[in-house]
Structure 1
Amino acid sequence: MRDVPKVVWLLAAGAFVNMVVSYTFIYLVLYLTGPRGLGVAQAGLIAGLGGAGLVAGNFTGGWFGDRYGHRRTLVTAAVTSGSGLIVLPGLPVAALLVVLPVAQYAAGAVRASNSALIALSVPAGARRQGYAVLRFAGNAGFTVGPPLGALIAAAFSYTWLFVADGLGTLCFAAYASWLLAAHGVGHRRKPAPAPESGSAPAARVWHELRARPAVLVLLGAIVVTDTVYRQQYSTLPVFLADHGFSTEFYGAMLAVNGGVILCLEIPATLALRKAAPLRIIAAGVTLVGLGYGALCLGAATATALALMVLLTAGEILYKTPATAYVADQTPDGMQGRFQSLYAGASTTGTVLAPPLGTALYTAAPAALWPLCATLALAAAATLLTTTRTPVPSPATP
């Protein structure tokens, strides 16, 4: 871990504090159907628009960083997101349809900027450790945040959830601005040269991706895997409830998942830091598939626990190495755009998983878990096939 620069640790500390108060999305539907008095369908529409904004921000936020500087982009996006959250409780319902997606878009851009800043701050060969530190901070904050949010909502009101989240995000913007300026990180970088005169920025990105087919395959595999992985937050609780398991049992499973990741992700990253990245990622995706395969054996305490153990191990193996691999394969001046592509791919499941999973579970409940297992295992097999093909140097051709 000595290869991880001080600025990364300090940025992760800020991300931890910001994540502690980033619980608004967890209680958004409860707030809309409770104090706001909206129907479930209306609340779902507003929450869905916010989720779409978040994914869009992840996909495109890094483009602003490559052009204007990642520090400026992160600070601007954090200010936008925090300001939107603070005013959101006082807005009419119609305004929520605009302000919430904008605030969530900015939140997605913050995540993409964070990833790009890690890539720029950490030398090649140590980026897995750098991303493990950032993920550790985010997971630790998320472990503390939801119960803290529940206490605030119970003791005060849901309005204070949005105010606390917004103020925390604004404080993170001020902290990150000072920190990155002090360490000279995140200023505008010279963009990568176009493959030919007159090419648009999107054409340049596509040119670089085609020169790195392994990255393209990885991004596709991550979209599939994330859609499967996030069934644990949408159809899994419904499945467990339908088979007599309590909400407390489901919550305990998620708590164990978070605790194990906090304890083991950094040690696992260090132990495997010299292993071939695509093989490690494929192994993690395989474990995700096997986890859902366990549910094919039936609904029981043992199969549910096997699912969570395998999902947790799979997440530890694939998420950090995948982020670092994309960073290591990125040409000069395009870290933001490549990290945005990965960040977008790795959050696509937040939009795709709930509607696709619940629709299939409603139409053919017995088919859902076999299909999830098959999709994840197919993604892993594709990645393993990619490891047997030559991978170009990350330098621009």
Structure 2
Amino acid sequence: MRSWLRETAGGLPTTFWYLWTGTLVNRLGSFVMIFMAIYLTSERHFTQTEAGLVIGLFGVGSAMGVTVGGVLADRWGRRPTLLTAHLGAATMLLVMGFARDRWTITLGALVLGFFMDATRPAFQAMMVDVVPERDRLRAFSLNYWAINLGFAFAAVLAGLAAQADFLLLFVVDATTTLITAGIVFVKVRETRRPQGFARRRDTGAPATGLHTVFADRVFLGFLLLNLLTALVFLQHISMLPIAMGQDGLSPSTFGWIIALNGVLIVAGQLFVPRLIHGRDRSRTLAVASLVTGLGFGLTAVADVPWLYAVTVLIWTVGEMLTSPSNATLIAELSPAATRGRYQGVFSLSWSAAAFLAPTLGGYVMQHVGNAALWLGAAAVAATVSVGQLLSGPSRERRVAALTTAPPSPAPRTPAPDGAPPMPEERARVRA
């Protein structure tokens, strides 16, 4: 056991553990988005389509947030971006909690999405900054473990809080967001030297604008596959609670069933790096997509708690295989000079799905039917599986080219926490 613990969690930088702690605290109070669909339909009397549109606007704000957050993480710095976004998110959670009219709720969802997801690229870039390449798979797995440990508790506690008073969801979420900001403010220092807002004109410096990310065809192909995956996966937050409500299941029942997702990840995610280490990533992602599609497809026939629980456990296995593979692949595909932008654009695919998943899902459920939604999700996942197999070789060639790139003439930022210099701090040529 001691040997396994050393292999799993030993030797990681101190900054990583502060970020890990912030993740855990924040996720322990992540009440609002878990129950947003139930809140809108039961407490504020939105229709399924209207609720889907409001949650979709959260995705629009998220798309703007990750784009701006990615640029700010590179130019302004990771730490100030994280602090500003967390404070903004806490403020908007309280605004949403006390709002009663539909326009305030609708516009509040847009602004909340902006601040809540503006943290994502800065956080991911900071983790890549401080963790050496050899340790990133287990570091991302540990962070994902913390996310789901918090999520498992939050889903159950939020279900109980929703039965008492929906306002508690917003207050607790805002409080844990502020605590996370406090951890970053007190314990986490900047890991990337700010580049300033003035455009660099050094003829020898690599291009660092967003256009360089969108011109990367290999990366955009991976982004498209992730968008389709996210369209399927995010149905568990938007349409699954509505489907369970139509079957007469209470918010607390949804809470403990969806908590199984976090419980399984907490129990098994730390063993996943050893399971997938050395295996072909494209095949791993292809298998993960098939398993995810199977789980969501079976939701079409679910109508009682135990059957819903089985579907959740199945697609959770697919999620467990997907997450660490995606995280390490994005880190390896991201040149050091544009790491924040790459993380931001990758997060943009999730933000786009956060808009499209509830919008399309609500429309399909209301006008075509529940079975069509879940069987369609399974078909999309199968398509992604084929796409992963076809596009995998080009991605691995790109990773190999970036890893063997010559050093950049640009100055380097000292490695934090006394860690040895990381290979990713060398400039990487684009294949």
- TM tier relative to shorter chain: 0.7 to 0.9
Q: Which letter maps to 1:330? A: S
Q: 1:232 to 1:98 in 2, by over 3 A?
A: closer
Residue range with higher mean Cα deviation, 351-360 or 219-228: 351-360
2:329 paired residue among 325, 331, 336: 325
User: What corresponds to 2:127 in structure 1?
Assistant: 118
Give 1:131-146 correspondences, 5 Å limit: 131-146=140-155
User: What corresponds to 1:129 in structure 2?
Assistant: 138
- Answering whether residue 392 of structure 2 is matched by residue 387 of structure 1, we say yes
Q: Which letter maps to 1:188? A: P
Q: Is the 8 A contact 2:55 2:358 kept in 1?
A: no
2:57 paired residue among 31, 49, 63: 49
The CA distance in 2 between the partners of 1:195 and 1:318, in whole Å, is 40
2:343 paired residue among 339, 354, 360: 339
1:277 paired residue among 270, 281, 284: 281
Q: Which letter maps to 2:127? A: I
The CA distance in 2 between the partners of 1:293 and 1:170, in whole Å, is 38
Output the aligned Cα RMSD.
3.5
The CA distance in 1 between the partners of 2:355 and 2:41, in whole Å, is 20
Please, what TM-score do these two structures have when normalized by structure 1? 0.83
CA deviation after TM superposition for structure 1 residue 89, in Å = 4.3
Q: 1:91 to 1:198 in 2, by over 3 A?
A: same
CA deviation after TM superposition for structure 1 residue 346, in Å = 3.1
Q: Which letter maps to 2:278? A: K
User: What corresponds to 2:182 in structure 1?
Assistant: 174
1:7 paired residue among 4, 12, 15: 15
User: What corresponds to 1:65 in structure 2?
Assistant: 73
CA deviation after TM superposition for structure 1 residue 172, in Å = 1.4
Q: Is the 8 A contact 1:227 1:350 kept in 2?
A: yes
Q: Which letter maps to 1:185? A: T
Q: Which letter maps to 2:14? A: K
User: What corresponds to 1:356 in structure 2?
Assistant: 360
Give 1:230-309 correspondences, 5 Å limit: 230-236=234-240, 246-247=249-250, 251-294=255-298, 298-299=301-302, 307-309=311-313
Aligned length: 387
- Answering whether residue 197 of structure 2 is matched by residue 188 of structure 1, we say no
CA deviation after TM superposition for structure 1 residue 308, in Å = 2.9
For residues 138-196 of structure 1, the C-alpha deviation after alignment (integer angstroms, 9 at most, x for no partner) is 111122223334555555x4444433322322221121122222xx5244269999999
Residue range with higher mean Cα deviation, 138-147 or 82-91: 82-91
CA deviation after TM superposition for structure 1 residue 70, in Å = 0.9
CA deviation after TM superposition for structure 1 residue 317, in Å = 0.4
The CA distance in 2 between the partners of 1:42 and 1:292, in whole Å, is 23
User: What corresponds to 2:420 in structure 1?
Assistant: none
Q: 1:165 to 1:359 in 2, by over 3 A?
A: closer
Q: Which runs of 5+ in 1 are unaligned?
A: none
Q: Which letter maps to 2:194? A: R
2:156 paired residue among 134, 139, 147: 147
User: What corresponds to 1:376 in structure 2?
Assistant: 381
User: What corresponds to 2:30 in structure 1?
Assistant: 22
Identity of aligned residues (%): 25
The CA distance in 2 between the partners of 1:172 and 1:378, in whole Å, is 38
The CA distance in 1 between the partners of 2:360 and 2:278, in whole Å, is 37
Report the 3-state secondary structure (helix = DSSP H, G, I; strand = E; otherwise coil) of the residue aligned with 1:126.
helix
For residues 84-140 of structure 1, the C-alpha deviation after alignment (integer angstroms, 9 at most, x for no partner) is 323444557344444442232111011222111111111223222111121111111
Please, what TM-score do these two structures have when normalized by structure 2? 0.77
Q: 1:81 to 1:3 in 2, by over 3 A?
A: same
Q: Is the 8 A contact 2:56 2:357 kept in 1?
A: no
